[in-house]
Chain A
Amino acid sequence: MSTSAPELMTPGKGRGLLDVFRNRYLLRLVVDKEIQIRYRGTVLGLLWSYLKPAVQFGVFYIAMGIFLELNKGLENYAIYLFSGIVLINFFGEIFGNSSRSITDNGGLLKKIYLPRQLFPVSNLFVALVHFVPQLLILLIACLASGWHPNFKQFLCMIAGCVIVAVFALGLGMIFATFNVFFRDAENFVDMIMMVATWASPVLYLFTMVQEKMPAWFYYIYFANPLTVAVELFHYGFWLPSTELWQHWHVPAHLMTIWTPVALLIAFGTLFLGDFLFRRYEGNFAQEL
């Protein structure tokens, strides 16, 4: 008996993320399922995806804008705040749900082979279902306050979305893998999500980091793809809605250096996530 007869294939050896796009129909069904289950038995259904950010926005606006008087120094602070919140929520939803997706679907993964990348990736699409309506609200708010973006700003918005989506999925796949072997990983995920809002200029201005912290910290701060993405959103949504054009509103080298760096880190993270996931997915079924 020779070890490999011609054309024999090893079962369950996937091609990573590529497999997901070969199974688009299944992906769609899994996304539909996730959305249906999320809102089962709720009276408000998808409305929750508007209500939650609205409350979050209200709380931050009162605490930061009014109590800490950030809206006095900053024109259209509401838009500044909301564009960051929308993006960070997008990150949190993809990252949080995809890092739990493998352990949550353990029952199925143990029994039937299917491309397991499907589960983290499906959460990206589920998050889009919530992200897009929020983005629309943001657009309406911008239009109401005299938004006049140019093409470059438009590109920045798209870049911001791509950075967050790719980075969050990559991190999600890394932690989904860890989660199978060490359940402690879930606590890390919670911690990262808590820090994410404060580790990027969602509530405050990046210039505060520049003023208060040493130079090296500023570089680390901008090496965080979320910081860059949030600033890209500020550039795309908030800046064109303001009258005053003060040059410090845009970080130096945002588009020339930091955006390519962030894209690189985001895709690097996804690559690492896919690699780790593929490296260990063969053990998922027996460890779950």
Chain B
Amino acid sequence: MTTIPFKKPGVTFSEETVAIRSDHMSKWFTLRHTRSIKEAVMWIAKGRKGDLSEKFKALDDVSFDIHDGETVALLGFNGSGKSTTLKMISGVMHPDEGYVGTRRKVAGLIEVGAGFHPDLTGRDNVYLNGAILGMDKAEIDSKFDDIVAFSEIGEFIDTEVKFYSSGMYLRLAFAVAIHTDPEVFLVDEILSVGDEPFQKKCISRIKDLVRRGKTLVVVSHDLDLIMDICERGIVLEHGKIVYDGPSVGAVAKLRDRPAADVQREQNERVERRLYWKRDERRKAAEEAAAKGEKYVPEYDPELDDPADLDDPTKVKRTKGL
């Protein structure tokens, strides 16, 4: 059963559909990094007594399986180990103990713009970052126009990125990331990019991925949004999993409220939103009918089946939306 009305149902839970497996994963970090060879030599000379630097456990015995088509939120306060978990999954870091494995092509929207270079033009950055995120030349070529349209950068695409406003910069970076097509998407706190219209566009893209049955692992502090796109929530506290279950339950735990109340409010919110969206469409259709025009609504993953996009009379998708 899924708590998200528009999500493609039917995640199969079996050994064959495991996309990501984390098994008793632990990770220690050193608290102090600055070291010189002198200190290290002294430490060895003294017979390696004590630790060269203080350590703390950032992930503590974390185990979970994520299956194909699941949408999972990683929740918890700052410093609870969410980003670290995503980095383990993407292979940026390795666990000190335990095991993490993936079966699918995983790509991270871990931090947008990580591979952007200020001295390169927008165009060069699109190619460089597309390749960093695992696309080849033909793929980037074919998506280039969509990326530029989505980012709304326009003629600035051939300007060096250092002259962009921070919003423009993030928009372009997000546009590249969202146009990669991995089997598993990792999303770390990037859904608050740019101004409100752009945010809406980003969220709509993510919902489109959800609707199409993509596997997502999302970190976000927007709990309402989490309930909209994730059916499962894992709550971390000081690197330990303290909850793993339906996202509504995870949010209830974080908000310290009864799960039934949170569920009811969420249902109301979704119903209200869908009602207004449908109402808007109805009005637009009436307006068009009054003018004698045919109304084709803009694709909305919460209302439309992506298969309808093949029929141009049913629903359309404007480039860059």
Contacts and interface: CB of A to CB of B under 8 A. Distances in A.
Interface of A: 1, 3-13, 23, 25-26, 29-30, 32-33, 36-37, 40, 107-114, 181-184, 282, 285-287
A44 to B, nearest CB: 17
B33 interface: yes
Given A10-B100, A33-B117, A286-B29, A112 B40 contact: no
Nearest to A110: B92
A288 to B, nearest CB: 9
B87 interface: yes
B245 interface: no
B200 interface: no
Contacts of B35: 181-182
B120 A33 contact: yes
Interface in B93-124: 93-94, 99-103, 106, 108, 110-111, 114-115, 117, 119-120, 124
6 contacts: A4-B101, A8-B18, A29-B128, A33-B128, A107-B114, A282-B93
A113 B21 contact: no
Contacts of A285: 87, 92-93
A112 B90 contact: yes
Given A4-B101, A5-B15, A11-B106, A108 B115 contact: yes
Interface of B: 15, 18, 21, 23, 29-30, 33, 35-38, 40, 63, 65, 87-94, 99-103, 106, 108, 110-111, 114-115, 117, 119-120, 124, 127-128, 131-133, 136-137
Secondary structure at chain B's binding surface: helix, strand, loop or mixed? mixed
B101 A10 contact: yes
B136 A25 contact: yes
The residue in B92, B108, B117, B119 that gathers the most chain A C-beta atoms within 10 A of its C-beta is: B92
Contacts of A109: 92
B119 A36 contact: yes
Contacts of A29: 127-128, 131
Given A3-B23, A5-B101, A36-B120, 7 more contacts: A4-B21, A11-B90, A11-B100, A12-B90, A29-B128, A37-B117, A286-B30
B111 A111 contact: yes
A108 B93 CA distance: 13
A138 to B, nearest CB: 32
Given A182-B35, A286-B93, A26 B132 contact: yes
B128 A37 contact: no
A146 to B, nearest CB: 45
A77 to B, nearest CB: 41
Given A112-B115, A182-B40, A287-B33, A13 B91 contact: yes
A37 B124 CA distance: 12
Contacts of A40: 119
Contacts of A182: 35-37, 40
B9 to A, nearest CB: 24
A287 B63 CA distance: 25
Given A26-B131, A33-B120, A112 B102 contact: no
Ordered nearest first, which 7 A-B pairs have the shortest CB separation?
A12-B91, A11-B91, A8-B101, A111-B114, A113-B91, A282-B94, A26-B131
Contacts of B90: 11-12, 112-113
Nearest to B90: A113
A184 B35 CA distance: 9
A30 B128 contact: yes
